[in-house]
Structure 1
Amino acid sequence: MSINQETVLSQSKIKQRPNWFKFDVRAYTMIGALLSIWVLFSLLHDRFLSPTNLSNLFLQMSVTSILAIGMVLVIVAGQIDLSVGSLVGLTGGIAAILNVWYEWNTIPVILATLGIGAAIGFIQGWIIAYRAVPAFIVTLGGMLIFRGVLFGTTGSVTIAPLTPSMKAIGQSYVGDVIGWVFGIAALAVAGYLVMRKRAARAKFGFDVEPFAVSVLRLGVIGALVIGFVYLMNSYKGIPVPFVMVIVLALIFTFISRNTTFGRQVYAIGGNAEAARLSGINIKRRILLVFVLCNTLAAIAALVLTARLNAATMSSGQNYELDAIAACVIGGTSLMGGTGTIVGAIIGALVMASLDNGMSLMNLESFWQYIVKGGILILAVYVDIYTRQRKKV
Structure 2
Amino acid sequence: MELQKQLQNEKAAPEGKPSLWSSLFGKMDVRAYTMVGALVLIWVLFGLLDPTFLTARNLSNLFTQMSVTSILAIGMVLVIVAGHIDLSVGSIVGLTGGVAAILSNWMGLPAIVVILGTLAAGAILGMLQGWLVAYKMIPAFIVTLGGMMVFRGALMGVTNSMTIPVSDSVLALLGNAYFAQGFGIIIAVLAIGLIVWSTLKKRRSRQKYGFEVAPLGVDIIKVAALSLLVVLFVFVMNAYKGIPFPIIFVIVLAAIFYFLSTKTTFGRHIYAIGGNIEAARLSGINIRRKTMMIFLLSGLLASIAAIVLTSRLASATITAGNMAEMDAIAACVIGGTSLMGGAGTVLGALIGALVMTSLDNGMSLMGMESFWQYVVKGSILVFAVWLDISGRRKGAK
Shorter-chain TM-score: which interval? over 0.9
Counterpart for residue 14 of structure 2: 14
Distance 1:15 1:68 in 2: 43
Counterpart for residue 225 of structure 2: 220
Structure 1, unmatched stretches of 5+, are 1-6
Distance 2:201 2:166 in 1: 48
Distance 2:45 2:221 in 1: 28
Q: 2:71 aligns with which of 61, 66, 71?
A: 66
- Matching residue's letter, 1:47: T
Check the 8 A contact 2:104/2:166 in 1, yes or no: no
Deviations 1:202-221 (A, max 9, x none): 11111222222222211111
* 1:290 equivalent in alignment to 2:265: no
- C-alpha change, 1:9 and 1:59, in structure 2 (3 Å) is closer
Deviations 1:99-139 (A, max 9, x none): 11111111111111111111111111111001101001111
Counterpart for residue 335 of structure 1: 340
RMSD over aligned Cα, in angstroms?
A: 1.5
Shift of the alpha carbon at 1:153? Answer: 0.6
Deviations 1:146-188 (A, max 9, x none): 0111111111100013211111100001110111111111111
* 1:303 equivalent in alignment to 2:313: no
Distance 1:33 1:213 in 2: 24
- Matching residue's letter, 1:46: P
Q: 2:131 aligns with which of 119, 126, 130?
A: 126
- Tell me which moved more, 208-217 or 15-24: 15-24
Counterpart for residue 48 of structure 2: 43
Distance 2:393 2:185 in 1: 45
Distance 1:282 1:313 in 2: 35
- Matching residue's letter, 2:50: H
Taking the TM superposition and a 5 Å limit, the aligned residue runs for 1:339-350 are: 339-350=344-355
- C-alpha change, 1:68 and 1:94, in structure 2 (3 Å) is same
Percent identity of paired positions between Structure 1 and Structure 2: 57
What secondary structure sits across from 1:21 in the alignment? helix
Taking the TM superposition and a 5 Å limit, the aligned residue runs for 1:201-240 are: 201-240=206-245
- C-alpha change, 1:180 and 1:10, in structure 2 (3 Å) is closer
Deviations 1:342-376 (A, max 9, x none): 00000000000000000000000000000000000
Shift of the alpha carbon at 1:42? Answer: 0.3
Counterpart for residue 112 of structure 1: 117
Taking the TM superposition and a 5 Å limit, the aligned residue runs for 1:71-110 are: 71-110=76-115
Counterpart for residue 263 of structure 1: 268
Distance 1:13 1:85 in 2: 49
Counterpart for residue 181 of structure 2: 176
Q: 1:278 aligns with which of 274, 283, 286?
A: 283
- C-alpha change, 1:9 and 1:186, in structure 2 (3 Å) is closer
Distance 1:127 1:10 in 2: 52
Check the 8 A contact 1:173/1:236 in 2, yes or no: yes
- Tell me which moved more, 308-317 or 188-197: 188-197
Counterpart for residue 366 of structure 1: 371
Counterpart for residue 4 of structure 2: none
Distance 2:338 2:212 in 1: 30
